[in-house]
Amino acid sequence: MKTFAHRSPPAGRGAGGGAERAPGQTMKDIMLKIIGKQMTQDGEDEQVEFITEGRYQAEDGAVLLQYDESDLSGMAGCTTDLRIIGEKVKMERHGAAVGVDTAIEFERGRRFKGYYETPFGAVEMEVLTNFVVNRLEPEKGSGYLDIDYNISLKGLSESRSRLKIEIM
């Protein structure tokens, strides 16, 4: 298993697209610890771990998280937005690093079909969510989110992935 660590620069401030925010509301600056683990069918595990500055907001039963991707993730110049409502998560990535904005929805037992941007263009993608654990505490701006899912990129790869995001 390979593990990498990285601390990325501050999240972008209001640059295009992104998580839906009520007019006049501001997002709180936070630190996020992000661990992404990919387990391939041949038993090869790869883990990426980094700490980054991000932004947080709780509104109308939803939690919004936003952070900038880094060189480590291969998506520098891209912003990731997460909208979390209970055990449902919508992830959107947008910016210069992705030619086509990417959205993925995670909900236990549900299949999501869409497109994933690669350096070679958009590829058809299918995600099956195994579980979502939401231990975020909206009133405190703390806690963590844990997502386990299988992903298939048509013609390229199939793997199981786990994403854990902790507000530090």
Pairing of strands 2-8, 157-167: unpaired
Phi-psi region of 89 (alpha: psi -120 to 50; beta: other; left: phi over 0): beta
User: Which of 93, 100, 61 has its CA nearest to residue 78?
Assistant: 93
Distance of CA 144 to the CA centre of its chain: 13
In a domain, 20, yes or no: no
In a domain, 127, yes or no: yes
In a domain, 132, yes or no: yes
What is the number of structural domains in the chain?
Answer: 1
Q: Is pLDDT above 60 for 152?
A: yes
**Residue 69 belongs to what domain range?**
2-14+26-167
The total of other beta-carbon atoms located within 10 Å of residue 107's CB is 17
Q: What is the pLDDT, as a whole number, of residue 94?
A: 82
pTM exceeding the 0.75 threshold for the entire prediction: yes
In a domain, 112, yes or no: yes
DSSP 40: E
Query: pLDDT tens for residues 50-86?
Result: 898 999 999 888 999 999 877 766 677 788 899 999 9
User: In this structure, are residues 139 and 58 in contact, taking their beta carbons and an 8 Å threshold?
Assistant: yes
Of the chain, the percentage scoring pLDDT greater than 70 comes to 77
The burial of 3, by beta-carbon neighbours within 10 Å (0-12 exposed, 13-18 middle, 19 or more buried), is given as exposed
Q: Which helix (H) or strand (E) holds 115?
A: strand 111-118
DSSP 70: -
User: In this structure, are residues 96 and 117 in contact, taking their beta carbons and an 8 Å threshold?
Assistant: no
In a domain, 33, yes or no: yes
Q: What is the pLDDT, as a whole number, of residue 97?
A: 60
Q: 142: domain CATH number?
A: 2.40.128.20
Q: What is the pLDDT, as a whole number, of residue 21?
A: 45
In a domain, 142, yes or no: yes
Poorest-pLDDT segment among 6-15, 30-39, 51-60, 102-111: 6-15
pLDDT band per the 50, 70, 90 thresholds, residue 107: very high
* Better-scored residue on pLDDT, 93 or 101: 93
* Better-scored residue on pLDDT, 24 or 94: 94
In a domain, 84, yes or no: yes
Task: For residue 34, give the amino acid letter.
Answer: I
User: In this structure, are residues 130 and 148 in contact, taking their beta carbons and an 8 Å threshold?
Assistant: yes
Q: What is the pLDDT, as a whole number, of residue 99?
A: 61
Q: Is pLDDT above 70 for 16?
A: no
In a domain, 19, yes or no: no
Q: What is the pLDDT, as a whole number, of residue 133?
A: 97
